[in-house]
Structure 1
């Protein structure tokens, strides 16, 4: 197949491109700079310079590739500090890519007659409703209001997911049906990501600056970055349209995973901080991340995509695959 990956040189793109090339596909990847084209060529793909926020640039890039499948992996996550009080500010560009960028890519995919559209979303914890069970599947509702610090980010995620899944409806105004798949990735760990020895979370834990807040009962779901690549390749090649959680087998509360990760990166056991003390420092959203967010189940992805994470749990992955 001819496959176009928007964000071919990003954290997910550089794991997915080699897998698709090795499977015999003709792969094109977008990049913002000429140097990215050279990197894609070394992976066996063809690079195309594209401005994802310029509709004509996106249209031209996708037309050049003439893909059967378009994969949306556009984010802007480099340089993030993990400041939970400024969540929307730190995700501002990514939110534009999830709204404007998604719309541009869907329009371009329809123009060239692509049959499948695979898009990155998020399912590592904070987006699900914070009532009921501590582990949610794809049928569980998203939260109505995540807190003032993350409202724009949730709106952008909702926009992307609705646009992509609605594209499967044959009654869409364009008249062109796309098989729309949304991949709700868990929290990334592994080389080059926040939860690694050199990443933001690892650095904070080594410095003793990331405490367990309240009871640390908020549940997070993780996924190794290599497993993100293999899941994305699986969604390119198969699976019915819809939403899939791409996470490992063991959602875990903060009070379990954070001390374990601190040990693996050479940090001290995190201090404990009451929620009322932490609230002015990390905001209501930050307190929720530590105490009430829900994790995700990967049962559907394993069943319908035929995907199994190579790092079954964060315990194994933090110990041997963190980078």
Structure 2
């Protein structure tokens, strides 16, 4: 699908978690493409950040259907984008405050509100890790997920099922682990490396996507509005979290940290993060490339991290020397 087919038809969009680092980047991308973005925020500081990216900050609880319904109707929203859980979909080397109930509750409230207030499309962002452990084998959108007994994967898949059962057209994007210049978790990882803190890194193959590439995929999906589509939004070079950490440390001129024994992992990471690092699966992105016309600018975490380092060095107050 070419840009000329899907771009530049102005849309009215509602974006949850718009004041998160990834949400702010996506807001900027959508506004730059000519769209009107109403961004959910919970604080005055968050509202200021959304406004600085060209969005309209709005206050509503993402799990309160009535508030969302009124907002969608008032703004004449055409496309609702659920970004709520992506703030936790970062590098698994850092802890994440996953809320499995919120995954389902947010999807339920947004879908019901969108369906009852005139929205035309619901875009649900999910996670590439929902496929579960496939022992390093390649999978694609036709592969049946195997969540096992992991509560996080089961909740994420139930949220996807709600999107697929929506009474309005919808699609699902399964994003790899997010990282990039704006990532607070990368900043925290840098600080931990400088302090030579030991870390736990998994050998299982994981799937990654640089934030800018993920934002571009969401923009294209919102514009294309392909009903019932499921798309893997990942780069083309799956790699373990241990490999990611090694690349990150080397690019900063730092030594890889000492490893934490696996039995001590619970002292620094939640069970959800530990489970994610045990998985090993290679996720294909061919369908998104073919049907959305999307190609990751950063084909691997190596290329994505190189760009991150360049951006950090170019900051007014450089992150790194």
1:221, distance to aligned residue in structure 2 (A): 1.1
> 2: distance between equivalents of 1:194 and 1:134?
31
SS at match of 1:48: strand
> 2: distance between equivalents of 1:82 and 1:228?
17
> 2: distance between equivalents of 1:8 and 1:237?
18
- Structure 2 residue 169 is matched with structure 1 residue 190: no
Normalising by structure 2, we get a TM-score of: 0.81
**Conserved 8 A contact 2:92-2:276:** no
- Structure 2 residue 62 is matched with structure 1 residue 52: yes
- Bigger mean CA offset, 63-72 vs 292-301: 292-301
CA deviation vs aligned residue, 1:190-234 (integer Å, no higher than 9, x gap): 1232552x13x4444442412445xx2x10111111111111111
1:59, distance to aligned residue in structure 2 (A): 2.0
Match of 1:110 among 106, 115, 131: 115
> 1: distance between equivalents of 2:210 and 2:148?
28
Matches within 5 A, 1:50-199: 50-75=60-85, 77=87, 90-92=97-99, 95-123=100-128, 125=129, 127-131=130-134, 133-146=136-149, 151-167=150-166, 177-193=167-183, 196=186, 198-199=187-188
Equivalence for 2:263: 279
CA deviation vs aligned residue, 1:248-296 (integer Å, no higher than 9, x gap): 11111344332112212443134467xxx51353498666544542132
> 1: distance between equivalents of 2:303 and 2:144?
30
Equivalence for 2:239: 252
Match of 2:209 among 217, 223, 229: 223
1:69, distance to aligned residue in structure 2 (A): 0.7
Gaps of 5+ in 1: 168-176
1:41, distance to aligned residue in structure 2 (A): 2.7
Change (3 A) 1:220 1:142: same
Change (3 A) 1:133 1:139: farther
1:42, distance to aligned residue in structure 2 (A): 2.6
Change (3 A) 1:178 1:295: same
Change (3 A) 1:66 1:83: same
Change (3 A) 1:132 1:259: closer
> 2: distance between equivalents of 1:287 and 1:38?
35
Gaps of 5+ in 2: 1-10, 313-321
Change (3 A) 1:236 1:212: closer
**Conserved 8 A contact 2:93-2:201:** no
Change (3 A) 1:136 1:271: farther
> 1: distance between equivalents of 2:293 and 2:102?
29
**Conserved 8 A contact 2:231-2:288:** yes
> 2: distance between equivalents of 1:68 and 1:29?
14
Change (3 A) 1:272 1:22: closer
